[in-house]
């Protein structure tokens, strides 16, 4: 039998709890993304994650911040709902949560499709593209020559640039493209440029076969190869793509380490696409992996930015950090295993929530942590706090009569995780269920979407239960759950283990319950926020 905890201080059979529910309304800041209509097609349109109005989307590209706006470009095929001739779509936001789609920024041309890449604000006009003192924004991307690809030529990918003199709205392709020719390497793509303040030059990382190549330039047009990284290091079970390189302060110390991201497809921890990371030092020329990190890597084989199946090709905003020096990140919330088949028609794919990245020194080595950007807190509308819940059997925590379960942030704390399993269950009257939680015996988190609704569009969608190791050793477990219509993002132990997964229920989820293998346990704080985007 299910027990019920109604989040207004009601106590029902089988649960003894003291609750102190609070309701609080706050005005949300500007909102550009529309709350979806009841139109069938829009049934899966997310409430607070970016999705293109129409057409296909994959990787985030070219993110920079300028004059109060965060820019997000993305791999886009506007004329179809599967991957096709790649353009750069564009969206802007003042807070990385509410996005406003803009005209397409880059179209395919005679050199090929416009694959992934990055953009920088060239404040000192190193490129010389400035006219009338306008600050140029330079995009660097891969030209993918489809004809060469079809003909089986290795050299189908080159690197090119384009500049914008209207703050990223429109771009002019550089007449000297490509700026880096292909040195006979397959999968030679996805340039990510950063400004190296110490050496007053641009550094660029590029996926090149099974390695990352490091380049430098003074003017963004002429590039010099500095070094390579990756042979025999980390996971090589798939193609290396979409690298990123950035420094991060180590929390609680005065140390700074460099982090290198490499997306890989397939080879992810739960199959398909995922992003691995490496921690080390960068001297302006060479990335050297931290010795201790390398030792741990030898045991673990890879460290993952996100263990869920739906966070791929994510990179960071090029010229902005949080007040603490954290980098800002967004990923593509899908997986190449089934991205082309998910059940939406006019548009396909969404982005993850924007996240703040940090670095901690864990018990074994440096560890990446990620959490939703703080700007999301501004959208908290109704808030329910329940303290000291003693849970017995399957207990309903809340229902959609009280709080929406598709624009929701839930924070919880279990003070003493015992050797048992804790399972959250999202369900609806159609019999769909998404379960997720923690198996303390295995020290593993899990997400099971096998019965979550529409799943038959691909066998790969439900071929396993996604699992992720717990990194934290403390007996206190904290978690943050972000729910949208078709996605769950789980941030455990302050972002030490993250899992992002998508799902397509036949009707919105109506009930959130929890159960444990053990008869009884306590949740210290349960905080449920309905988010308001109106
Ligand atoms: C990653 C990726 C990139 C490439 C782009 C093409 O998802 O394969 O390597 O540039 O997608 O759309």
Query: Which atom of ligand 1 has the smallest separation from the CA of 332?
Result: 7
Secondary structure letter of residue 253 according to DSSP: S
Query: Which atom of ligand 1 has the smallest separation from the CA of 263?
Result: 1
Express each pLDDT in 72-106 by its tens digit.
Answer: 999 999 999 999 999 999 999 999 999 999 999 99
Mutate to test the pocket of ligand 1, among 116, 145, 191 (most ligand atoms within 8 A of CB): 116
Distance between Cα 427 and ligand 1 center (Å): 35
Express each pLDDT in 105-146 by its tens digit.
Answer: 999 999 999 999 999 999 999 999 999 999 999 999 999 999
Express each pLDDT in 294-307 by its tens digit.
Answer: 999 999 889 999 99
Q: What is the pLDDT of residue 251?
A: 97
Query: With bands split at pLDDT 50, 70 and 90, how would you rate the model's confidence at 1?
Result: very low
Q: What is the pLDDT of residue 22?
A: 26
Distance between Cα 159 and ligand 1 center (Å): 14
Q: What is the mean pLDDT of the chain?
A: 91
Secondary structure letter of residue 131 according to DSSP: S
Distance between Cα 270 and ligand 1 center (Å): 20
Distance between Cα 488 and ligand 1 center (Å): 24
What lies within 8 Å, CB to CB, of 426 at 6+ separation is 405, 433, 434, 435, 483, 488, 509, 511, 512
264: β partners: 240, 274
Q: Does the pLDDT of residue 347 top 50, yes or no?
A: yes
Average pLDDT over residues 461-475: 96
CA distance 421 to 438: 6
68: left (phi over 0), alpha (psi -120 to 50) or beta: left
Q: What is the pLDDT of residue 39?
A: 61
Q: What burial class does residue 226 get, using C-beta atoms within 10 Å of its C-beta: 0-12 exposed, 13-18 middle, 19+ buried?
A: middle
Q: Whose CA is nearest to atom 8 of ligand 1?
A: 241
Distance between Cα 140 and ligand 1 center (Å): 14
CA distance 500 to 334: 9
Mutate to test the pocket of ligand 1, among 208, 241, 348 (most ligand atoms within 8 A of CB): 241
SS3 content of the chain, % helix, strand, coil (to 5): 5, 50, 45
Q: Which residues line ligand 1 (CB under 6 A)?
A: 58-59, 75, 86, 115-116, 142, 189-190, 241-242, 313
CA distance 473 to 362: 10
Q: What is the pLDDT of residue 138?
A: 98
State the first-to-last Cα distance of the chain, in angstroms, to the nearest integer: 38
Query: Which atom of ligand 1 has the smallest separation from the CA of 312?
Result: 7
Query: Which atom of ligand 1 has the smallest separation from the CA of 116?
Result: 10
Read off the pTM. 0.93
Query: With bands split at pLDDT 50, 70 and 90, how would you rate the model's confidence at 28?
Result: very low
CA distance 230 to 212: 6
Strands 3-6 and 395-399: parallel
**Beta strand residue intervals within 28-135, DSSP E:** 55-66, 69-77, 87-93, 100-106, 113-121
Q: What burial class does residue 46 get, using C-beta atoms within 10 Å of its C-beta: 0-12 exposed, 13-18 middle, 19+ buried?
A: buried
Q: Which residues are catalytic?
A: 59
Query: Which atom of ligand 1 has the smallest separation from the CA of 187?
Result: 9
CA 9 to mean position of chain CA atoms: 36
Q: Does the pLDDT of residue 19 top 80, yes or no?
A: no
Q: Whose CA is nearest to atom 9 of ligand 1?
A: 241
Q: Identify which of 368, 363, 392 has the alpha carbon closest to the alpha carbon of residue 316.
A: 368
Q: Whose CA is nearest to atom 6 of ligand 1?
A: 115
Mutate to test the pocket of ligand 1, among 87, 186, 187, 190 (most ligand atoms within 8 A of CB): 190
CA distance 383 to 531: 9
337-342: Cβ within 8 A, 24+ apart? 337/266, 337/271, 337/272, 337/273, 337/309, 337/458, 337/460, 337/461, 338/272, 338/457, 338/458, 338/460, 338/461, 339/58, 339/83, 340/82, 340/83, 341/457, 341/458, 342/457, 342/502, 342/504
Q: What is the pLDDT of residue 41?
A: 61
What lies within 8 Å, CB to CB, of 427 at 6+ separation is 433, 434, 509, 510, 511, 513
**All structural domains of the chain:** 376-531 (2.60.120.560)
Q: What is the pLDDT of residue 421?
A: 86
Q: Identify which of 494, 23, 41, 74 has the alpha carbon closest to the alpha carbon of residue 312.
A: 74
Express each pLDDT in 310-334 by its tens digit.
Answer: 999 999 999 999 999 999 999 999 9
Angle at 177 between CA 172 and CA 181, to 5 degrees: 150
- Which of helix, strand or coil describes residue 199? coil
Distance between Cα 386 and ligand 1 center (Å): 44
Q: What is the arrangement of strands in the sheet containing 256-265, beginning at the earlier edge strand?
A: 239-249, 256-265, 274-282, 287-289
SS (H, E, C) 394-434: CEEEEECCCCCCCEEEEEEEECCCCCCEEEEEEECCCCCEE
């Amino acid at each position: 039998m299910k027990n019920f905890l109604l989040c207004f201080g009601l106590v029902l059979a089988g649960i003894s709890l003291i609750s102190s529910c609070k309701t609080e309304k706050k005005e949300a800041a500007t909102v550009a993304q529309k709350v979806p209509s009841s139109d069938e097609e829009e049934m899966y349109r997310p409430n607070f994650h970016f999705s293109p109005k129409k057409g296909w989307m994959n990787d985030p590209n070219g993110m920079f911040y300028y004059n109060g706006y965060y820019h997000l470009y993305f791999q886009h095929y506007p004329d179809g709902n599967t991957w096709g001739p790649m353009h750069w779509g564009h969206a802007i936001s003042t807070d990385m949560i509410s996005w406003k789609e803009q005209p397409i920024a880059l179209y395919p041309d005679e050199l090929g499709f416009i694959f992934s890449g990055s953009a920088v604000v060239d404040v000192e006009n190193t490129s010389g593209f400035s006219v009338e003192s306008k600050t140029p924004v330079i995009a660097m991307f891969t030209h993918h020559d489809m004809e060469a690809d079809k003909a089986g030529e290795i050299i189908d990918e080159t690197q090119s640039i384009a500049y914008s003199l209207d703050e990223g709205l429109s771009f002019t392709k550089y007449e000297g493209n490509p700026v880096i020719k292909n040195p006979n390497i397959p999968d030679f793509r996805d340039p990510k440029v950063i400004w190296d303040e110490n050496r007053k030059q641009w550094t660029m990382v590029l996926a090149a076969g099974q390695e990352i190549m490091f380049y430098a330039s003074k003017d963004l047009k002429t590039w010099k190869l500095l070094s390579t990284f990756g042979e025999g290091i980390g996971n090589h079970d798939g193609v290396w793509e979409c690298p990123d390189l950035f420094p991060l302060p180590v929390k609680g110390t005065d140390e700074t380490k460099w982090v290198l991201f490499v997306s890989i497809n397939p080879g992810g921890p739960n199959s398909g696409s995922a992003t691995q990371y490496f921690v080390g030092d960068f001297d302006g020329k060479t990335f050297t992996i931290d010795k201790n990190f390398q030792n741990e890597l030898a045991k673990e084989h890879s460290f993952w930015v996100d263990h869920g199946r739906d966070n791929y090709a994510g990179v960071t905003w090029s010229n902005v950090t949080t007040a603490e020096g954290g980098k800002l990140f967004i990923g593509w919330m899908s997986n190449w295993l089934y991205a082309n088949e998910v059940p939406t028609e006019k548009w396909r794919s969404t982005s993850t929530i924007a996240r703040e990245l940090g670095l901690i020194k864990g018990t074994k080595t440096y560890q990446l942590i990620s959490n939703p950007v703080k700007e999301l807190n501004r959208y908290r509308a109704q808030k329910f706090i329940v303290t000291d819940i003693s849970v017995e059997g399957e207990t309903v925590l809340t229902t959609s009569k009280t709080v929406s379960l598709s624009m929701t942030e839930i924070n919880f704390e279990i003070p003493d995780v015992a050797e048992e399993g804790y399972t959250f269950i999202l369900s609806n009257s159609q019999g769909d269920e998404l379960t997720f939680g923690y198996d303390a015996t295995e020290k593993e988190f899990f997400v099971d979407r096998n019965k979550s609704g529409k799943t038959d569009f691909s066998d790969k969608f439900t071929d396993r239960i996604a699992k992720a190791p717990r990194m934290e050793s403390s007996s206190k477990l904290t978690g943050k759950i972000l729910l949208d219509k078709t996605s769950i993002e789980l941030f455990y132990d302050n972002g030490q283990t993250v899992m992002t997964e998508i799902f397509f229920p036949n009707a919105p989820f109506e009930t959130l319950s929890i159960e444990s293998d053990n008869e009884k346990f306590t949740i210290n704080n349960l905080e449920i926020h309905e988010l308001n985007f109106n």
